[in-house]
Amino acid sequence: MNRLRISVTLLAQLLVFAGCARAEEPRVIPAAIVDETKPMPGTTEVAVVSGGCFWGMQGLFEHVKGVREVVAGYSGGSAASAQYETVSGGATGHAESVKITFDPAAISYGRILRVFLSVAHDPTELNRQGPDSGSQYRSEIFFANPAQEKIAKTYVAQLGAAHVFNQPIVTRVDRLGGFYAAEGYHQDYLLHNPDSPYIVNNDLPKIANLKRLYPEFYRDAPVRLASAWR
């Protein structure tokens, strides 16, 4: 019995390793052909996306020029189930997400998605990212209006048709039903815990890749979350 348990454990570890080995490497991807934005001076826009643990997603986009604020939270389910302990069970419909408030005169929605689909996460992994698995870690774009819907759907189709990635893109594109901020201890987690082994191994490389692959989008000093969200 003990040998059976050991064998099953080793098999599971090998399968996880094999899945990780097939993960797409971060790379520069083509810009969105359709990126229709007509920003009004002094206005901001919001993008909501999910792609794995929200710690790294928030930390990465806080280093993107033109981004004003990034909040970690939950999207895809109801307000009643938007708590970490419940969402972690994987049955709420929620995905760990980030709400990115940005200046569309400084960075377009299409460029936000370009960062999201290249260095923020692997858009070819289904219901997992790195060591985290479950539908709450799925790849998804939540559009807030028809313009965002057109840009997101066209961009995903564009990259798929060009075979930019070795594997098919599994990123979902759905209407934003609601965004619910995560608990305070999750906010700015990367900034507060830069030496955490999880952060060092999984999230700091994303920021390094942003700087390396898209220096024109990178800023060294991250925007910090307003104290009201903590």
Domain borders along the chain are 2-229
Render pLDDT for 191-216 as a digit per residue (tens, 0 to 9). Answer: 999 999 999 999 999 999 999 999 99
Which long-range contacts does 82-87 make (Cβ < 8 Å, 24+ apart)? 82/180, 83/183, 84/182, 84/183, 84/186, 87/136
Q: Do strands 128-129 and 139-143 pair parallel, antiparallel, or not at all (unpaired)?
A: unpaired
Kindly tell me the burial class for residue 211, based on how many C-beta atoms sit within 10 Å of its own C-beta (0-12, 13-18, 19 or more).
middle
Mean pLDDT of 47-61: 98
Reported as type and span, the H/E element at residue 18 is helix 2-21
Q: Which residue is catalytic, options 53, 64, 159, 176? A: 53
Per-residue pLDDT at 6: 31
- 64's tokens: 């993107």
- pLDDT category of residue 10 using cuts at 50, 70 and 90: very low
Please state the φ and ψ torsions of residue 37, each to the nearest 5 degrees: -130, 135
What sign for the dihedral angle of Cα 59, 61, 64, 67?
negative
Report phi then psi at 44, rounded to 5.
-125, 160
CATH 3.30.1060.10 fits 2-229, yes or no: yes
- pLDDT tens digits for range 134-162: 999 999 999 999 999 999 999 999 999 99
User: What pTM did the predictor assign?
Assistant: 0.89
Q: Which of 67-76, 169-178, 218-227 is predicted with the least confidence, judged by mean pLDDT? A: 218-227
Q: Evaluate whether 137 touches 127 at the Cβ level (below 8 Å).
A: yes
Catalytic annotation on 20? Answer: no
